[in-house]
Amino acid sequence: MAGTGEAGKAGRRECGVCWNVYDPALGDPQWQVPPGTAFEDLPSHWSCPNCAAEQSKFLALSDD
């Protein structure tokens, strides 16, 4: 799959507690985070929508 201009972003993060993935391309509907929001740009009160783990529990995911 070809890149679409997201190369400079940090990419997806995976919750270290429940393995829920935050994808910047999708945002987070549960938190009303719009698509295209980098993990670093999430509101400070954001936590895992699945298990409520704090942002520090999230680990970087590499695509390839």
Residues that bind Zn ion (CB under 5 A): 15, 17-18, 20, 48, 50-51, 53
Looking at beta carbons only, is 38 or 55 nearer to Zn ion? 55
C-beta of 38: minimal distance to Zn ion in Å?
Answer: 18
C-beta of 59: minimal distance to Zn ion in Å?
Answer: 11
Looking at beta carbons only, is 10 or 52 nearer to Zn ion? 52
Looking at beta carbons only, is 30 or 50 nearer to Zn ion? 50
- Give 2-64 as a DSSP string: ---S-TTS---EEETTT--EE-TTT-BGGGTBPTT--GGGS-TT-B-TTT--BGGGEEE----
CA–CA separation, 47 vs 2, rounded Å? 30
